[in-house]
Amino acid sequence: DQQVKQNSPSLSVQEGRISILNCDYTNSMFDYFLWYKKYPAEGPTFLISISSIKDKNEDGRFTVFLNKSAKHLSLHIVPSQPGDSAVYFCAAIRASNTGKLIFGQGTTLQVKP
Partner 1 sequence: GAGVSQTPSNKVTEKGKYVELRCDPISGHTALYWYRQSLGQGPEFLIYFQGTGAADDSGLPNDRFFAVRPEGSVSTLKIQRTERGDSAVYLCASSLAGVYNSPLHFGNGTRLTVT
Contact positions with partner 1 (CB under 8 A) in 33-72? 34, 36, 41-46, 49
> To the nearest whole angstrom, how small is the minimum distance from the Cβ of residue 104 to partner 1?
5
CB-wise, 15 or 49, nearer to partner 1? 49
Task: Report whether 29 contacts 93 (CB < 8 A).
Answer: no
H-assigned helices in the chain: none
CB-wise, 57 or 105, nearer to partner 1? 105
Which residues are at the interface with partner 1 (CB under 8 A)? 4, 6, 32, 34, 36, 41-46, 49, 89, 91, 93, 95, 97-106
